[in-house]
Amino acid sequence: MKRAAALLALLLTLAAAATPHNTPASAPPRGASAQAGAPQELAIIVNKSNPTDNLSLSELREYFLAERGHWPNGLGKVRVVMLEPGNPERDAVLRLIYDMNEKGFTSYFLGKKFRGETLEEPRQQSSPPDVIKFISYVSGAIGYVAAGEVDASVKVVRVDGLAPGDPGYKLRL
């Protein structure tokens, strides 16, 4: 058992060294933002019962990195929801919020689970409507979708005081 644990630790170390956590993810496909004529923006969304209206980018990173596990407003556990790999929105979140690529993300959460720092990584949904549906049902959930996908069942949170569409908003595809 000790030998298996040592081997796993070695593999995690090698994976982390081969994929630095601050390596940005690849840029979204060229047509992703050009289709709309202007850059598309990501909306950070929470359950409507969440009183949080604004998060700094650093607070948002802490929630997404599982460094903050509970909401300060009594909503309980934070449940981060992401789109599955291969979505341009996920690539943008990995680049802009996590400052990682897909391999770095996987290694990061594998290491956190191995060290007992978290029990679970962000949940994955296959489509923006599935992300919205999950967040609308789970009071502590937070996630993202393209701003044009948001509906009335969830609430958009400002990031650094700015909402999608505001000049200077940083979360663009």
Per-residue pLDDT of the chain (173 residues; tens, 9 = 90+): 444 444 444 444 434 444 343 333 333 333 333 344 456 999 999 999 999 999 999 999 999 999 999 998 777 899 999 999 999 999 999 999 999 999 999 999 999 999 988 877 899 999 999 999 999 999 999 999 999 999 999 999 999 999 999 999 999 98
Q: Which of 128, 138, 134, 132 is nearest to 173 (CA)?
A: 128
Instruction: Report the predicted TM-score, pTM, of the whole model to 2 decimal places.
Output: 0.77
**Per-residue pLDDT, 119:** 74
At the topology level of CATH, where does 2-27+38-159 sit?
D-Maltodextrin-Binding Protein; domain 2 (3.40.190)
**Coil, strand or helix at 167:** coil
Q: Which of 66, 8, 16, 42 is nearest to 145 (CA)?
A: 42
Q: Where are the domains of the chain?
A: 2-27+38-159
Q: What is the four-CA torsion angle of 147, 152, 155, 159, rounded to 10 degrees? A: 20
Q: Please give the structure tokens belonging to residue 34.
A: 């050009």
